[in-house]
Amino acid sequence: SQTIHQWPATLVQPVGSPLSLECTVEGTSNPNLYWYRQAAGRGLQLLFYSVGIGQISSEVPQNLSASRPQDRQFILSSKKLLLSDSGFYLCAWSGRTSGSSYNEQFFGPGTRLTVL
């Protein structure tokens, strides 16, 4: 079976500090990977997606960047955090598995980021 991991679960960072959030997927190969942000009480906004190693598409210009150094690893980064970067960050994957296709996304447990 497939599983998706995110860490850390919770993070409190000062303004201007760097950020690195990691997401890994197990049990599948060549997945599509996604980073979403959810502001308090709001829906999810797609930030980045990747269809392969080194291939990153950005949906929203911002203070963040993403990288995919390995097939099943997706990293969200920032050089200098802003207050507005606070939120709940969710990683998701889609791919060919028994019972699903690239048209279905599965989400990780999320990271709650607070920038002070």
Partner 1 sequence: AQTVTQSQPEMSVQEAETVTLSCTYDTSESDYYLFWYKQPPSRQMILVIRQEAYKQQNATENRFSVNFQKAAKSFSLKISDSQLGDAAMYFCALMEYGNKLVFGAGTILRVKS
Q: Report d(CA 63, CA 42) in Å as an integer.
A: 20
Q: Are strands 73-78 and 3-7 parallel, antiparallel or unpaired?
A: unpaired
Q: How far apart are CA 50 and CA 94, in angstroms?
A: 10
Site string for partner 1, 31-60 (x = CB under 8 A): -x-x---x--xxxxxx--x---------x-
- When asked if residue 103 is in the footprint of partner 1 (CB under 8 A), the reply is yes
Contact between 106 and partner 1 (CB under 8 A)?
Answer: yes
Q: Footprint of partner 1 on this chain (CB under 8 A)?
A: 32, 34, 38, 41-46, 49, 59, 88, 90, 92, 94, 102-107, 109-110, 112
